[in-house]
């Protein structure tokens, strides 16, 4: 359920800021135009969802990796299976990155998974310490020397204009060539986020090991407190920064922005997990479980659909829609995916890509049909 809801946040940000227009437009002054509704929705997305949904996914990826590790029998085979699992994810991520959409996150998650894997052999306190330390480094990284710098404003201005022309009217070959041309400029974005990705995966694994998801455990009783602190503190920081209420140096503001993102992601996750233990709330959230179980399939499906909607080899709507219209299209696609996922899982054990992933991991064809 948490993963299904997080996928909505990922979809909303992707369709509004990466598929609709060039991602580099957000880094330019006065990059957003449109109606008052477009500006209002954009502000809501930036305050409440941007980067938070991805942070929540990183936590969930760590939880999933720890579940796989703990449920497999000990020995060299366990490591080999998980290495194959991550290698398949990296392969699909690379194909997705080059052939479909250069905003892919799967490739980075696979690399981060390889970094996290050795720590799964460690005790809970080691997982918690390393994850927390790496997260602290990420939060104060604005005060450290830059490892990779963003492209210049002149380059981004020119790239936005070229992206609007090529993505909006180019055929598949032209779009593919420009997508590959843009890849080096995406690298700093991944470099900035990579420590956070690894840190949150480690913390997610630690949360699983601490029995945070086990009914009646002492750790699970902390969920309401985590939810309140995350939502109030994280939301307060995010709103203050969006409205310019905090007057600090840009380095301190960047650190607080990163802190608010992590706090809100933890707050969202704790709120949903806590709510699923209440019968009435759980019933209201059950719709999110099927799409969450098929998150891999649905994430790739969104890229294919939005690529056809916005790029020149399809409807060519890139750079032509406001935030509200693009978000409405995204919500429509998401609703159809909710329906499709529920229908599919009534007949099959796994989503199609999840089934391929599982089969690649075990090196043999896995059962798919429900008996």
**31 pLDDT tier (thresholds 50, 70, 90):** low
Tokens of 45: 């997305």
Instruction: Give residue 12's Cα distance to chain centre.
Output: 11
Rounded CA-CA distance 266/134 in Å is 16
List the single range of 69-78, 327-336, 339-348 with lowest mean pLDDT. 69-78
In a domain, 118, yes or no: yes
- Domain around 115: 2-362
- Cβ-Cβ contacts under 8 Å for 344 (sequence gap 6 or more): 290, 294, 351, 352
In a domain, 106, yes or no: yes
In a domain, 371, yes or no: no
Please compute the mean of the pLDDT values over residues 99-117 and round it to a whole number. 96
Using one digit for the tens of pLDDT, what is the confidence trace for 164-182?
999 999 999 999 999 999 9
Residue 348 phi, psi (nearest 5): -125, 155
User: What pLDDT is stored for residue 222 in this prediction?
Assistant: 87
Kindly report the length of the chain.
Answer: 371
- Cβ-Cβ contacts under 8 Å for 66 (sequence gap 6 or more): 120, 204, 205, 208, 209
User: What pLDDT is stored for residue 160 in this prediction?
Assistant: 93
Indicate whether 74 pLDDT > 90. no
Please compute the mean of the pLDDT values over residues 156-165 and round it to a whole number. 94
In a domain, 142, yes or no: yes
Residue 237 phi, psi (nearest 5): -65, -45
Rounded CA-CA distance 10/266 in Å is 16
**249 pLDDT tier (thresholds 50, 70, 90):** confident
User: What pLDDT is stored for residue 240 in this prediction?
Assistant: 86
Rounded CA-CA distance 52/55 in Å is 5
Using one digit for the tens of pLDDT, what is the confidence trace for 183-231?
999 999 898 899 999 999 999 999 999 988 887 777 788 899 999 999 9
Q: How many domains does the chain have?
A: 1
Indicate whether 24 pLDDT > 70. yes
User: What pLDDT is stored for residue 28 in this prediction?
Assistant: 86
Indicate whether 27 pLDDT > 90. no
Three-class HEC string of 118-152: HHHHCCHHHHHHHHHHHHHHHHCHHHCCCCCCCCC
Helix (H, G, I), strand (E, B) or coil at 327: helix
Residue 98 phi, psi (nearest 5): -90, -45
Using one digit for the tens of pLDDT, what is the confidence trace for 261-293?
999 999 999 999 999 888 999 999 999 999 999
Mean pLDDT value across the chain:
92
Rounded CA-CA distance 314/307 in Å is 7
Indicate whether 75 pLDDT > 80. no
Using one digit for the tens of pLDDT, what is the confidence trace for 347-364?
999 999 999 999 999 999
Instruction: Give residue 255's Cα distance to chain centre.
Output: 20
Using one digit for the tens of pLDDT, what is the confidence trace for 119-148?
999 999 999 999 999 999 999 988 877 776
Please compute the mean of the pLDDT values over residues 51-57 and round it to a whole number. 94
pTM check: above 0.85: yes
Please compute the mean of the pLDDT values over residues 68-81 and round it to a whole number. 86
In a domain, 335, yes or no: yes
In a domain, 370, yes or no: no
């Amino acid at each position: 359920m948490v993963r299904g809801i997080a996928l909505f946040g990922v979809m909303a940000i992707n369709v509004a800021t990466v598929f609709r227009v060039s991602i580099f437009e957000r880094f330019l002054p006065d990059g957003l135009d449109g109606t008052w509704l477009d500006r209002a929705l954009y502000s809501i997305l930036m305050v409440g969802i941007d980067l938070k949904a991805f942070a929540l996914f990183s936590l969930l990826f760590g939880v999933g990796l720890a579940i796989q590790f703990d449920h497999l029998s000990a020995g060299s085979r366990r490591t080999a299976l998980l290495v194959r699992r991550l290698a398949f994810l990296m392969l699909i991520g690379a194909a997705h990155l080059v052939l479909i959409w250069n905003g892919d996150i799967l490739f980075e998650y696979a690399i981060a998974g390889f970094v996290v894997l050795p720590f799964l052999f460690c005790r809970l306190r080691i997982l918690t310490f390393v994850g927390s330390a790496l997260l602290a480094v990420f939060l104060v990284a604005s005060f450290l020397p830059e490892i990779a710098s963003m492209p210049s404003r002149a380059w981004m201005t020119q790239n936005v204009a070229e992206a609007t022309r090529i993505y909006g009217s180019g055929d598949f070959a032209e779009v593919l060539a420009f997508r590959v041309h843009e890849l080096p400029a995406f690298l700093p974005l991944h470099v900035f986020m990579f420590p956070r990705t690894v840190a949150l995966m480690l913390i997610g694994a630690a949360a699983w090991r601490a029995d945070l998801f086990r009914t009646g455990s002492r750790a699970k009783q902390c969920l309401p407190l985590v939810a309140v602190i995350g939502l109030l503190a994280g939301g307060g920081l995010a709103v203050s920064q969006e409205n310019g209420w905090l007057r600090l140096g840009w380095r301190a503001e960047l650190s607080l922005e990163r802190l608010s993102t992590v706090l809100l992601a933890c707050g969202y996750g704790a709120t949903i997990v806590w709510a699923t233990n209440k019968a009435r709330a759980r019933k209201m959230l059950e719709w999110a479980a099927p799409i969450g179980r098929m998150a891999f399939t649905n994430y790739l499906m969104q890229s294919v659909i939005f690529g056809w909607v916005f790029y020149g080899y399809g409807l060519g709507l890139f750079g032509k829609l406001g935030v509200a219209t693009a978000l409405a299209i995204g919500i429509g696609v998401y609703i159809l995916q909710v329906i499709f996922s529920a229908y599919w899982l009534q007949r099959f054990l796994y989503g199609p890509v999840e089934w391929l992933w599982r089969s690649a991991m075990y090196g043999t064809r896995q059962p798919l049909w429900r008996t």
